[in-house]
Each structure stands twice: as structure tokens, then as C-alpha cells.
């Protein structure tokens, strides 16, 4: 596990953020929470979580709107940050 943390920490901050955003979207899609169009995934990966970066909701989330997607993705990122902190300690 230390090797994984070491490799991860060698990536620059922007690269880690882009990867984390892609993982958040794809995890939500795999779990059936929602599905976005491909252009939305690219915009979110590059520019972050915002309603402006979401085009089409192929499968809408519970709550059914772009605001719900942003909240879900933000929560996912928070859980990931907490997990990393716990694993590093």
C-alpha cells in the first residue's frame, strides 16, 4: 500500500484532481446512480464539478437534476479524501 501512496503522491496536483473526478463519475455510473454523456465527463475531468460542465443526463440521478449530480460527486470526493487520510496515518 505504501508503494501506491508513494506513486500517487508523485503525480502533480492537477493530474490527481482530473483522475479523481473521472473515477467519481465512472463509479457513480457503474453503481447506476446516474450516467452522463461523454462530453460532460471530459468537461468535469478538466474543469471540475459544476452544473455548467454537465450537458446531457443520459440517466438522471435521484433528485433528477444537475445539482444532484454535483452534490453526489462532491460527496464522493470528500469520502475519498477522508479515506486517503486514514490510510496515510
Q: Taking the domains of the chain in order of start, what are their residue ranges?
A: 2-88
pLDDT at 17: 87
Is 23:30 a contact under the CB 8 Å cutoff? Answer: no
Give the pLDDT score at 59. 94
Residues 6+ apart with CB under 8 A from 60: 34, 68
pLDDT in tens, 32-87: 999 999 999 999 999 999 999 999 999 999 878 999 999 999 988 777 777 766 77
Q: What is the DSSP letter of 31?
A: T
| Residue 69 · residue 43 · CB < 8 Å | no
What pLDDT does residue 62 have?
Answer: 85
Alpha carbon distance 39, 34 (integer Å): 15
Determine the pLDDT at residue 48: 94
Q: What pLDDT score does 46 carry?
A: 94
Amino acid at each position: 500500500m505504501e508503494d501506491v501512496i508513494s506513486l500517487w503522491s508523485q503525480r502533480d496536483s492537477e493530474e490527481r484532481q482530473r483522475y479523481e473526478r473521472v473515477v467519481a463519475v465512472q463509479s457513480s455510473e457503474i453503481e447506476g446512480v446516474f450516467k452522463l454523456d461523454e462530453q460532460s465527463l471530459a468537461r468535469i475531468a478538466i474543469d471540475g464539478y459544476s452544473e455548467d460542465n454537465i450537458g446531457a443526463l443520459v440517466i438522471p440521478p435521484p433528485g433528477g437534476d444537475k445539482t444532484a449530480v454535483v452534490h453526489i460527486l462532491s460527496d464522493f470526493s470528500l469520502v475519498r479524501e477522508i479515506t486517503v487520510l486514514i490510510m496515510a496515518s
